[in-house]
A and B are shown apart, each in its own frame.
Chain A
Amino acid sequence: GQQLNQSPQSMFIQEGEDVSMNCTSSSIFNTWLWYKQDPGEGPVLLIALYKAGELTSNGRLTAQFGITRKDSFLNISASIPSDVGIYFCAGRLIQGAQKLVFGQGTRLTINP
């Protein structure tokens, strides 16, 4: 089936550092979304991207929809302790049933 390759799997950073993670696939997507999951909670939508090349910000978060439609990245600037969690990318395929496919997640740990 369709897969999203999300990297890195985990990150250990110092508070205040910038963070970058990305997702790639061999399939073409018409929507890219980024979610964050805190312990004991369901994922929460951070950013949604609908056009190739689109660059969207949400506070300290910035995400881009790759021009090839096969990738996306998420950047977090000046990380703070509440950024800790698991970040998931998700893509909606451009063909077929258009179900949402999720990456494996990036676990972010921040040392104060």
Chain B
Amino acid sequence: KAGVTQTPRYLIKTRGQQVTLSCSPISGHRSVSWYQQTPGQGLQFLFEYFSETQRNKGNFPGRFSGRQFSNSRSEMNVSTLELGDSALYLCASSRGQPNTGELFFGEGSRLTVL
């Protein structure tokens, strides 16, 4: 069974630009969650999608957005990038129902903002 796939793995952007990250969940998983990981803040929850609907949202500004498609694939977008957005962005999938909290993570997309 293929794991969670995130693309791109690495990317470099400059302040003010926008970025789109993609996540393909494990086959059969209908829930996708996104986390931001930085050395100082640890793993911070961004949002969770289930069956194309946002089920939960973390405390991030509106520059951070996401969506889920009918095939459960998900994208997140960050607009007007700031230096502080440099981080590892992790996507995780789960079956979704029941919501057991058991997440399967991808390897992440490492974003550097210059």
Q: A residues touching B (Cβ–Cβ < 8 Å)?
A: 1, 31, 33, 35, 40-45, 48, 50, 88, 90, 92, 97-105
CB-CB under 8 A for A98 and B42, given A42-B108, A43-B105: no
Q: Would you call A100 and B103 a contact (CB within 8 A)?
A: yes
Q: What CA separation (Å) do A90 and B105 show in the bound complex?
A: 14
In the bound complex, residues from chain A placing their C-beta under 8 Å from that of B108 are: 42
Mask of B33-48 contacts with A, CB within 8 angstroms, 1/0: 1010000001101001
Residue ID in chain B nearest A90 by CB atoms: B101
Residue ID in chain A nearest B88 by CB atoms: A42
Q: What CA separation (Å) do A88 and B33 show in the bound complex?
A: 17
Residue ID in chain A nearest B35 by CB atoms: A102
Q: Would you call B90 and A97 a contact (CB within 8 A)?
A: no
Query: Interface residue count for B (Cβ, 8 Å)?
Result: 23
Q: Would you call B100 and A48 a contact (CB within 8 A)?
A: yes
In the bound complex, residues from chain B placing their C-beta under 8 Å from that of A45 are: 102-104
Residue ID in chain A nearest B59 by CB atoms: A1
Q: Would you call B58 and A105 a contact (CB within 8 A)?
A: no
Q: Would you call B102 and A99 a contact (CB within 8 A)?
A: no
Q: B residues touching A (Cβ–Cβ < 8 Å)?
A: 4, 33, 35, 42-43, 45, 48, 55-56, 58-59, 90, 92, 99-108
B101 in complex: contacting residue of A33, A41, A88, A97, CB < 8 Å? A33
Residue ID in chain A nearest B41 by CB atoms: A104
Q: What CA separation (Å) do A33 and B33 show in the bound complex?
A: 16
A99 in complex: contacting residue of B42, B48, B90, B104, CB < 8 Å? B48
In the bound complex, residues from chain B placing their C-beta under 8 Å from that of A102 are: 35, 42-43, 45
Q: What CA separation (Å) do A102 and B35 show in the bound complex?
A: 10
Q: Which of B55, B59, B104, B105 neighbours the largest number of chain A CB atoms within 10 Å of its CB?
A: B105
In the bound complex, residues from chain A placing their C-beta under 8 Å from that of B55 are: 97
24 A-B pairs whose Cβ atoms sit less than 8 Å apart in the complex: A31-B101, A33-B101, A42-B4, A42-B90, A42-B92, A42-B105, A42-B107, A43-B43, A43-B105, A45-B103, A45-B104, A48-B101, A48-B102, A50-B100, A88-B42, A90-B101, A97-B56, A98-B99, A99-B45, A100-B45, A100-B101, A100-B103, A101-B45, A105-B43
